[in-house]
Amino acid sequence: MNLIASIREDIRCVFERDPAATSRAMVLLCYPGLQAIWAHRIHHWLWRKNLRLAARFLSQVTRFWTGVEIHPGARIGRRVFIDHGMGVVIGETAIVGDDVTLYQGVTLGGTGKGVGKRHPTLLNGVFVGNNANILGNITIGENSRVGAGSVVVRDVPPDSTVVGVPAHIVYQNGKRVLITDPHDVNDPLSDVIIALADEVKRLMTRVERLDGELQTVRQEPAGTLTVEEEERAQYRSEQSLRSDQVSMGEGI
């Protein structure tokens, strides 16, 4: 695809995804994400030609101008749309497929000082909400969505929606995913939650057992009193039949 056709395709992409775009002049002049993508294509060409200092320097100029930092070594596909753009960071070994949408504050970063492929791969059609962090050499499957503010550190299967810190799947293939095992969340506090759940279960079992014992204890005195009342009634009956019984006041 030649340069003019590519520019037209990018502009058409903006109109399709952003209802605020009302004219081509506005898109050309007021969309820093689009300007950053165009500049990156030049930087990436320089990077591949081994003109790396020039590529890095120009990428820093673009960062200052647009607020978007894309390393010249990153591979960016077609029709990628960076909305608003401010604070977006894309690392050196990141791969972004076609028809991907990134909002402001998104980071496609690494997890340390590793070498080789250390940044994420976003396949075609991925949507990433604002301030989301996708870290490490992981893959986000086609047509998946990453919720705003999420931190993704594991692979995401295609057609999935992930949210949370760390991110976990809440929708997959259009169906709600219910989490029944806290280990599936992969949260550092999962073990604490599991331990608390086990402790609550143990305490509930103990309370039920003690409640049953208490009910038994309460029933025993009632039975004893009933027996005593029957014995007293029988005693009074026997005394009333005795002929030698003396009433109060008699014989005085």
pLDDT digits (tens, 9 = 90+) for 31-70: 999 999 999 999 999 999 999 999 999 999 999 999 999 9
The single-letter DSSP state of residue 32 is H
Rounded Cα distance between 74 and 119, Å, is: 9
pLDDT in tens, 114-164: 788 999 999 999 999 999 999 999 999 999 999 999 999 999 999 999 998
At 238 the pLDDT is 73
- The residue ranking higher by pLDDT, 110 or 179, is 110
* CATH code for residues 3-180: 2.160.10.10
Distances (CA, A) of 210 to 123, 189, 204, 207, 215: 58, 31, 10, 5, 9
Closest among 178, 148, 182 to 163, alpha carbons compared: 148
Range name among 54-68, 96-110, 210-224 with the lowest pLDDT average: 210-224
Is residue 252 scored above 50 in pLDDT? no
Question: What is the pLDDT averaged over residues 12-28?
Answer: 90
* DSSP structure string for 159-212: TEEEETTTTEEEEETTEE----SGGGGT-TTHHHHHHHHHHHHHHHHHHHHHHH
Q: How confident is the model at residue 182 (pLDDT cuts 50, 70, 90)?
A: low
Bridge partner residues of 69 (DSSP): 89
Where along the chain do its domains lie?
Answer: 3-180, 188-252
